[in-house]
Amino acid sequence: MELSDAMRTTGAVREFTDEAVEDRVVYEILDDARFAPSGGNRQGWRAIVVRDPQVRLGLRDLYLPGWDEYLAMGRAGLVAWAPVTDREAEARALQDAPASAAKRGRFAEQLHEVPVLIVLLADLRALAAPDRDLDRYTLVGGASIYPFAWNILLAARDRGLGGVMTTMLTRHEPQVRALLGVPDEFAVAAALALGHPVRRPTKLRRAAVEDFTTLDRFDGPGFTA
């Protein structure tokens, strides 16, 4: 499909049919995605395609507590785990996390049953992170990893599949590393769920260019054509 169409129609898909995705297709997706850019072309990602039912169930069980916390903070009007936030309000919201179990939704409860489950890792030795020593949340290293994740979603879209990237497993990274036998030098960056979508988003809502782009300064005029 046309690149512009793919970018405008690759929305988050969390509901899949029972139709399996062939290994050949998963391989092709990863084969296309590997051309993502990365700092120094070091390609510091590793992907684990998780098939084992017990390992999948273990990942689901590690996913659910973080999802409950996410829902609780959302109900309190907070952006979950935002680096700049009201920590006291967050702590109060998290006290309500157990009540989220009844409102999890199908995706979280059935994560272990998605047709394709890929855990994405980042090799911390390969990331150029110029913001590493700043007195704030470090962000830049992800620029060498997440384009690969986005390429996976685009490649899946090109093959008529849908998917979503979720970072919730990082809430329990030590347990995830132990479950998957991941060395300490690697961080859990995300998990990607792929499959044949039950329905595909047709109208993605995004802010207009003028809403997030300014000219010359942060407080400059909105950029227009």
In our burial notation (b when 16+ CB lie closer than 10 A, e otherwise), range 138-153 reads eeebbebbbbbbebbb
Whether pTM exceeds 0.85: yes
pLDDT score recorded for residue 102: 85
pLDDT for 200 equals 83
The predicted pLDDT at position 202 comes to: 75
Where is 186: in which H helix or E strand? strand 186-195
The predicted pLDDT at position 136 comes to: 95
**Which regions of the chain are under pLDDT 50?**
none
What CA–CA distances, in Å, run from 104 to 58, 70, 109, 152? 17, 10, 7, 26
C-alpha distance from residue 107 to each of 65, 156, 173, 211 (Å): 14, 18, 20, 32
Output the pLDDT for position 186.
98
Please give the C-alpha separations between residue 41 and each of 34, 147, 153, in angstroms, as whole numbers. Answer: 11, 12, 20
Residue 167 near residue 139 (C-beta atoms within 8 A) = no
pLDDT at position 44 is 97
**For 74-123, how does the pLDDT look when each residue is reduced to its tens digit (9 = 90+)?**
999 999 999 999 999 999 999 999 988 888 999 999 999 999 999 999 99
pLDDT in tens, 32-43: 999 999 999 999
User: What is the pLDDT, as a whole number, of residue 101?
Assistant: 87
Helix, strand, coil % in the chain, rounded to nearest 5: 45, 15, 40
Whose tokens are 């109900």? That residue is: 75
CA nearest neighbour of 154 among 15, 8, 20: 8
- Predicted confidence at residue 48, as pLDDT, reads 98
Cα–Cα distance, 80 to 100 (Å, whole number)? 14
How confident is the model at residue 1, as a pLDDT? 80
